[in-house]
Each structure stands twice: as C-alpha cells, then as structure tokens.
Amino acid sequence: MRIGRVIVLSLRTLARNPLRSLSMMLGVTIGIASLTAMASIGESTRQETLRQFKRMVGSYDVVNIVPGAASTRGMPSLTTVEPSLKFTDAAAIAAEIKGVRQVAEVQNAFDIDVKYREKATVSAIYGVSPNWLEMRDYFIESGEIISAEDNASLARVAVIGQDIVTGLFPDEDPLGKQVRIGNVPFLVKGVLVSRGAGPGGSSLDGIIFIPVLTASKRLFNRDFLTTITAQLDDPDRPEAVVEAISALLRERHGIVPPGEDDFTIANARANAEQIAEVGSTLGTVMTGVAVIAMIIGGTVIMSLMLIAVSERRREIGVRRAVGATRSDVMLQFLVEAATVSVLGGIAGIALGIGGATLAAMRQALPVALIWETIGIAVLVSVGIGLVFGLQPAWKAANIDPIDALRS
C-alpha cells in the first residue's frame, strides 16, 4: 500500500469520526498552545524587565562603587554602612586606573521636602558631577543641564524630573522658578525627559539633580560620596578594571587581608545578565509545565487510539484479508496519530500566538514571538503523534485477521 493511499485512507477515517479526532487533537492543541504562549510571554517579560532596568541604570558601560561591604544586609544607607568613599577616591580612580574613561561623583538623599509657593512634595535629591547625567543617559526636555561652572561656583540650580513638574508646576513653566529643597532655595534650570517606571514599577521621574559640590557644601554638609560611577572603555571586559579599582581603594582605605572591603562595586552589565538569567529560569519552568501538558495530550491520543483499535478490529481484518500487510496497518495508524497531532499542533501554535499577543497588549509588554520555539513545537507535535501512536499501531498490526473477521 503506497504512502499516498495510506494518507488518504487515514484522513477519511479521521473525517468519519470527527468527535474522536477532535478529542485527540485537543490535548496536543492545549500543550502546544501553552508552550508557544508561555515561551513568548516569558520572553516579553524578560525584554520589558531589561528595558526598565536599562532605563534605571542608563548605560551598561559603567560600574558603580558604593560604601559598605557586599555582605551588608538589606539596602545600604547612611545608618547601616560607614561613609567610606571620598571625593579624593573618585579623583584617584580617574587618574590612576587604566580602562576608565571618566568618573562621576554622587551624593544623594531620599524623601527630602521640596516646596514651591503653597505646593509641596518629597523627592530624591542627587548631587551629581556635571558628567553624570550624560553617563547615565539622562536627557533634557527643556532648559539646560548642570554645567562645570555651576559645580565649581556652588550654584544653587536644579534639574527636575517630570513627577516634580506635575506636583509643583501643574499649570506653569518651571524654568526659572525658585524651589526650596530642604529650605534651601534653588533655581530650576532644566527639566528632564521622562524615564517612566523602573523594574519594580516605581516611577523614575520623582528626582531632582543639583551640582555635587553644592550638595556637599550647601545642602547635605557631607564630605563623602554615596556613589562613585566609573565609565569603562571596554564594558565587555570589565573584570581587570574592577579588580584594579578594588586594589586601589583597598590601598587607600588601609584594608589588608583578611579584612573586609568597606565598599562594593556593582557592574550594570552583570546585573542585567542576572536579570536575564532569572527570566530564562522562569521561562524554563513555564516550558516544563507546557511539556507536561503535551505529554498528557499524547497520552490522550494513545488511549483513544487503543479504544479505536478495539472498535475497528473487523475493519483491520478485512484489510488484512484483501492483502494489506502488518506494515501497512501499522503505517496507517501511525499516520492517523501523526496527522491528528500535527493538526492539533498547528491549532495550538495559532492559539498560542494569539494568546501571547493579547496578553502582551493587555500588560503593555512588547510582543516577542520565539520562532525557534514555534519550530520546535511543530517537531514536538509530530513526535507526540509518532511516539504515542506507536503502541496502538503495533497492537493493530498484530491483530489476527481471522479472529478479527469473526468479531
């Protein structure tokens, strides 16, 4: 019996039993739809998390040095870690470490009262060196950025985020207006482009930047830094530079083994890769759930086909009596199982793509279709039909034709 005739005969048999055929397809459809949708949603979530992380860190070519050892529990703050970083540390890194393009200095504090006339809000205040905004990819919507002259002259000028504009200047242009930051007057010099939400969903626009020396001398009265940001020449190979910075700071801070560092160096690119790894792990777990669903679907195919073999014993006996071989019978049942599985897989892919697209749109996520996964889903659907159809096909091929005709 030629393969073409087997396929035609298999399709006719499936068409004569639409309810059973649809029941066999359903399990595979659900499994493939789950695999396609979960893989796509997992990738969409990963991309969105990385995009939000990129908005938060600005650039992947920097490392941030903060006070406190890596083993410090909880979020490092001025109450939990010693203020170990100095302006001279930043200058030494810029002057002595090869592979560092430039260094920026940061002093920051959170939940600082900010007022304009009768309106008030709270904001994160960042005292930054003039190059920091550019290093972190902050862009000005209107006005001007903090300049070197502002920093050198201890100018009381501020660049504000969109949340501050909304809270204090809902109906007027903030440029040139005077706000009070912790009761110190500052002139609004610029307004930042909105950065949206960070990975945790919190806004990144409730922020005010002022010159770092102004913050140190006129607002915070601190002689130490909360962050030193170093921009690297080669962000793809940061290890040597990070080790050189660590060695320099240990020497400057008088730390000798086995003493613990009083600083921590965070690599933005490494953090992004950790986030991506978490997303990949989640995607693997979700894919595992989909695989279990497909195995259940394959089991349904096998069970229904075993029932069909018992119901079609006379049909099998007649075909064997007119010359069909065991191989012909086995091939027919395998083709039926594979056909049902492939059709279920195609339906599952369509449902999975539609479900993933709808979910991404509802959650404002980027639509990410992983074509490799879709291709694997097609192969898996064929494999399910062949693997789970093998036992029913073997049973059908080994039915004794004489006993079958007597049934």
pLDDT digits 0-9 by tens, 42-67: 777 776 666 666 555 556 678 888 88
Has residue 78 got a pLDDT over 80?
no
Q: Which of 204, 227, 261 is the last residue of a domain?
A: 261
251 in the same domain as 342 = no
Q: Which of 240, 261, 282 is the last residue of a domain?
A: 261
Has residue 75 got a pLDDT over 50?
no
225 in the same domain as 133 = yes
Question: Mean of the pLDDT values across residues 6-17?
Answer: 73
Q: State yes or no: cis peptide before 258, omega within 30 of 0.
A: yes
- Give the confidence band of 234 by pLDDT, cuts at 50, 70, 90: confident
Structural domain of residue 327, as residue ranges?
3-53+273-406
30 in the same domain as 117 = no
Please name the amino acid found at residue 394.
W
Is 343 part of any domain? yes
Angle at 117 between CA 111 and CA 121, to 5 degrees: 20
* Separation of alpha carbons 266 and 269, rounded Å: 9
293 in the same domain as 247 = no
Burial 341-366 (b: 16+ CB within 10 A, else e): bbbbbbbbbebbbebbbebbeeeebe
- Please state whether beta strands 207-211 and 119-128 pair in parallel, antiparallel, or not at all (unpaired): parallel
* Separation of alpha carbons 272 and 249, rounded Å: 25
Question: Mean of the pLDDT values across residues 265-286?
Answer: 63
Is 78 part of any domain? no
Is 63 part of any domain? no
374 closest CA partner among 26, 40, 97: 40
Is 74 part of any domain? no
207 in the same domain as 328 = no
The first and second tokens of residue 241, run together, are: 């530079």
Number of domains, the chain: 2
Is 61 part of any domain? no
210 in the same domain as 107 = yes
227 in the same domain as 100 = yes
134 in the same domain as 230 = yes
Which region among 19-28, 287-296, 321-330 has the lowest average model confidence (pLDDT)?
287-296
> Could you identify the residue written with the tokens 């530079």?
241
139 in the same domain as 203 = yes
pLDDT score of 407: 58
- Tens of pLDDT along 344-376? 888 888 888 888 788 777 776 777 777 776 777
* Separation of alpha carbons 13 and 396, rounded Å: 15
109 in the same domain as 252 = yes
Q: Which of 210, 230, 261 is the last residue of a domain?
A: 261
Is 359 part of any domain? yes
367 in the same domain as 302 = yes
247 in the same domain as 115 = yes
- Tens of pLDDT along 149-185? 999 999 999 999 999 999 999 989 999 999 999 889 9
